[in-house]
Amino acid sequence: MKRLEVKKLDFAYGRNQILFEFDFSLEESQIGCLLGPSGCGKTTALRAIAGFENPTKGEIILNGNKLNSSKIFVEPEKRQIGMVFQDIALFPHLSVKENIQFGIRSLSQNLRDKRSNELLDLVGMSEFKKKYPHEISGGQQQRVALARAMAPKPSLLLMDEPLSSLDEELREQLAREIRLILKQEKVSAILVTHDQNEAFAVGDHICVMHQGRVQQNDSAYNLYHHPLNRFVAEFIGEGTLLPGVVADEGTIATDLGEIKGNLPESCKHQDKVDVLIRPENVILANDNENKVVITARYFRGSSYLYTLKTNSGAEILCFLSSSESLQIDQSIGVQLQIEKPVFFSRS
């Protein structure tokens, strides 16, 4: 049974339309992510699911019950949905334990203590239960906010960029912890983020959005290896599009030699295409006749990321161990190693 179904959701502020036929679904105990650049509509979609915004069109169904339609609107407090906000919003005058118990005040004291102690153990905050928010770190505050949202056992948990204020290393670590916590509690959840590493660490499946529209709803693996359009290809991971021409039914000719693959029947001889080149597809081979020039170099710890320019001016990326160092403006030979080319027609 699907925990959540969002069907053909439109939303507009006056004449400014933010969402266009937004579709999204979530199975029980699954974690989904809404991923995209700022202004793509992901937070608006989350707020519509929460009930903070009323869509102009479409349906939201949770556990088989309609929350939104042309004639129905269920108030946020009646949706059994928990929320973790970007600004955390812990109550400064309440202790860690009191913050977690805030949403279960209707329970008896014994049940409140039992539930909050379970969650304190789960998020690793038991020793800080008497502390106040200003006395703990940002990462610890996020754990408390997560525990507080889970305390009433909501049908669905929504998280709006909860880690954006943390530094990158802590963000990725906490993202992995959040996934383990949600899975242990068997909570269905949606995370909104602009950080793909965060989405990859947390989500079972990821919905990539751009300009208010769903571009692809898929696993992290498929988003990286099988993007459905140019936007997803360039937004997910690191890579560039290399111009080419269909030479025959199984070959694309490029600046860097021929790329073999199963091309669809719609590809005709001399069709212009762009081929997705990931850094791992580029192999340095000094004896190769296909030469490129190094135009930029970025240190990545265990490796360097190089920008390479072809004879026609196209750019590709390449990783090389940081134990070796190539120079800017150096000319080197390369070859492409691609088993299943991903490409897009160029008009």
Please give the pLDDT value at position 169. Answer: 76
In sequence order, what DSSP letters do the residues of 111-133 get, joined into one string?
HHHHHHHHHHHHTT-GGGTT--G
> What is the mean predicted confidence (pLDDT) over 110-115?
94
Structure confidence by residue, pLDDT tens digits, 259-281: 888 777 777 888 899 999 999 99
Instruction: Specify the residue for token string 């008896």.
Output: 108
Give the global pTM: 0.90
Sheet containing 272-277: order of strands: 257-260, 251-254, 240-248, 272-277, 343-345
Please give the pLDDT value at position 171. Answer: 83
What is the set of domains in the chain, with CATH numbers? 2-234 (3.40.50.300), 239-345 (2.40.50.140)
In sequence order, what DSSP letters do the residues of 266-328 get, joined into one string?
T--TT-EEEEEE-GGGEEE-TT-S-EEEEEEEEE-SSEEEEEEE-TTS-EEEEEEETTS-PPT
Please give the pLDDT value at position 17. Answer: 95
Structure confidence by residue, pLDDT tens digits, 330-346: 999 999 999 888 989 88
Structure confidence by residue, pLDDT tens digits, 129-160: 999 999 999 889 999 999 999 999 999 999 99
* Token representation of residue 300: 């990545």
Instruction: Report the SS3 class of residue 94.
Output: coil
CB neighbour class for 74 (10 Å; exposed up to 12, middle 13-18, buried from 19) = middle
Structure confidence by residue, pLDDT tens digits, 204-231: 999 999 999 999 999 999 999 999 999 9
Pairing of strands 189-193, 156-160: parallel
Query: Rounded CA gap, 312 and 321, in Å?
Result: 27
CA 60 to chain centre: 22
Q: Is the pLDDT of residue 233 over 90?
A: yes
Neighbours of 147 (CB within 10 A): 27
Mean pLDDT of the chain: 92
Residue 14: phi, psi to the nearest 5?
60, -120
Stated length of the chain: 347
For 259, residues 6+ apart whose C-beta sits below 8 A from its C-beta are 244, 251, 252, 275, 336, 338, 341
> What is the mean predicted confidence (pLDDT) over 46-74?
93
> What one-letter code names the amino acid at 206?
I
Q: Could you tell me which of 68, 72, 50, 52 has the C-alpha nearest to residue 60?
A: 68
Please give the pLDDT value at position 1. Answer: 57
* Token representation of residue 109: 């004291």
